[in-house]
Amino acid sequence: MNVYIETYGCQMNFADSDVIGAILGKEGYSIVNDIATADYVMINTCAIRDNAEQRIRHRVHDLKALQRKKPSLRIGVLGCMAERLKTQLLAEEDNISFVAGPDSYRSLPQILRKVGQGGKAAETELSTTETYDDIQPVRLNGNGVSAYISIMRGCQNFCAYCVVPYTRGRERSRNPETVMAEARSLYDEGYKEVVLLGQNVNSYRYEGAEAMSFPRLLESVAAIAPDLRVRYATSHPKDLSDDLLRVMADHDNICKSIHLPVQSGSDRMLKLMNRHYDRAWYLDRIDAIRRYMPDCSITTDIIAGFCTETEEDHQATLDLFRRVRYDYAFMFKFSMRPDTYAAKHLSDDVPDEVKTRRLEEIIALQGQIALENNQKEIGRTYEVLVEGVSHRSDSQLFGRNSQNKVLVFDRHEAKPGQYVRVKVTGCTAATLKGEIETS
Ligand code: SAH
Ligand code: SF4
Ligand code: F3S
């Protein structure tokens, strides 16, 4: 039987799809790349904003055409939207046969047997312990160079706007020995970069014979090999420690880039969002990053138009962007999510056109800053890990420097998985152009 898996949402969802691929592969299912050959289609979904869910609803409707051609085709919805809506999804979308939440993937073989016989199934129990520790993920969308390793699951920070604690459950950390084993085996297979994933990696903690914190785990992974790069995401500003910054600074192969979502530049908003830090704390953490690692890139997430946001709050965000000068930002319009603190206690009172205008102002400012930051890179030389052939031209390759910036350059003899030295010769706001240094 053939299974086609389609993934939406964050990196953690992509890592989960690789776990699903491993679970099903072990049971004799084939994971296929061509949806036309599938007996089962699984959509691994995201619920973070309403537009993410709408996009998935459209996709589910579109699949009806395929089902008409192949009536035996069974469709399932997995991931965060499945967890949020549970059996309601089965009731609302009549072409879906099963839903499975993020902690139910071990049940997928049983679920498929049941729906294969014409039944429907819903498994959405969240767990306090499941980490899929023992499962060696199959790299479904892998490039053979860089791979994700999920080191923890869930989140219990309960930011007022966020659905993740409800869709992913309690925070739990994975056994460090299995993380190390996975990283070592990736390196042995030729991978040159691992990205350690969690909603808030700073609170990684494994209580074994000896407790393991995130900085210690990071150090251990970095010790596997000097030519294995290590990245991680995401850090919560409230507990970004000097200990972690020191570990990063001390290891050449721990990449010098930090994703530090700020969400708002206004203290009043940060409090209402339940972020547990204020602007002064955040700026202090930015200073600390620059003290330990002057060459570290910093990126962020921002929400425009959260409940009660005023023009003054918005100006505070723009001001923070001017101060920090991020290299990149993921920028969103606030979307009210059911069940969250905001949905229960606050009102979505910023008109949509105001949210849009504020978001556009942030995007315009950030675009300008990113371009100026990149212009300063011209003339510098970086060690770049080649990831693949450029989308624009077969004669060019692309890769990233330690700062996670994408560089595009002429191929010469280089191949994906190799390190090359590239001198930056030009840029846009999004990419650096360069030349391989041959001597
Ligand atoms: N765990 C990470 C973020 C996970 S979600 C962290 O805490 O930083 C990714 C981003 O989506 C968030 O950082 C936030 O900027 C955005 N986001 C989350 N909920 C949202 C909502 N209801 N509306 C708009 N953006 C949202
Ligand atoms: Fe959501 Fe906040 Fe948890 Fe991030 S830390 S996943 S924004 S609740
Ligand atoms: Fe989306 Fe779930 Fe990730 S809501 S952002 S897929 S944790």
Give nearest CA residue, ligand 1 atom 5. 48
- Asked whether 334 lines ligand 1 (CB < 6 A), one says yes
Mean pLDDT computed over 339-345:
98
> Which pLDDT tens digit goes with each residue over 320-330?
999 999 999 99
Domain ranges of the chain: 2-123, 381-436
What does the block give as tokens for 383? 């060690």
Integer CA distances (angstroms), 19 to 104, 177, 262, 390, in order = 11, 17, 30, 28
Reduce the DSSP state of residue 241 to 3 states and report it. Answer: coil
3 state SS for 346-368: CCCCCCHHHHHHHHHHHHHHHHH
- Asked whether 152 lines ligand 2 (CB < 6 A), one says no
Identify residue 276 by its one-letter amino acid code. Answer: H
What does the block give as tokens for 120? 């429907």
pLDDT for 23 beyond 70: yes
Query: From CA 283, how far away is CA 436, in angstroms rounded?
Result: 36
Is residue 42 within 8 Å of residue 5, measured between CB atoms? yes
Ligand 1 geometric centre to CA of 272 (Å): 15
Nearest bound ligand to the CA of residue 198 = 1
pLDDT for 291 beyond 90: yes
Ligand 2 geometric centre to CA of 355 (Å): 21
Range name among 4-8, 137-141, 217-221 with the lowest pLDDT average:
137-141
Query: From CA 310, how far away is CA 305, in angstroms rounded?
Result: 8
> Which pLDDT tens digit goes with each residue over 101-139?
999 999 999 999 999 999 999 999 999 999 999 999 999
Q: What is the pLDDT of residue 393?
A: 87
Reduce the DSSP state of residue 158 to 3 states and report it. Answer: coil
> If one looks up domain 381-436 in CATH, what number appears?
2.40.50.140
Identify residue 66 by its one-letter amino acid code. Answer: L
- Asked whether 11 lines ligand 3 (CB < 6 A), one says no
Give me the sheet containing 146-150, strands edge to edge. 146-150, 193-197, 229-233
- Asked whether 235 lines ligand 3 (CB < 6 A), one says no
pLDDT for 332 beyond 70: yes
Query: From CA 167, how far away is CA 420, in angstroms rounded?
Result: 41
> Which pLDDT tens digit goes with each residue over 174-187?
999 999 999 999 99
Mean pLDDT computed over 258-271:
98
Question: Which of 433, 398, 425, 426 minimizes the C-alpha distance to 414?
Answer: 398
Mean pLDDT computed over 214-237:
97
Q: What's the whole-number average pLDDT of the chain?
A: 97
Q: What is the pLDDT of residue 392?
A: 86
> If one looks up domain 2-123 in CATH, what number appears?
3.40.50.12160
Helices (H), 200-241: 214-222
Mean pLDDT computed over 212-234:
97
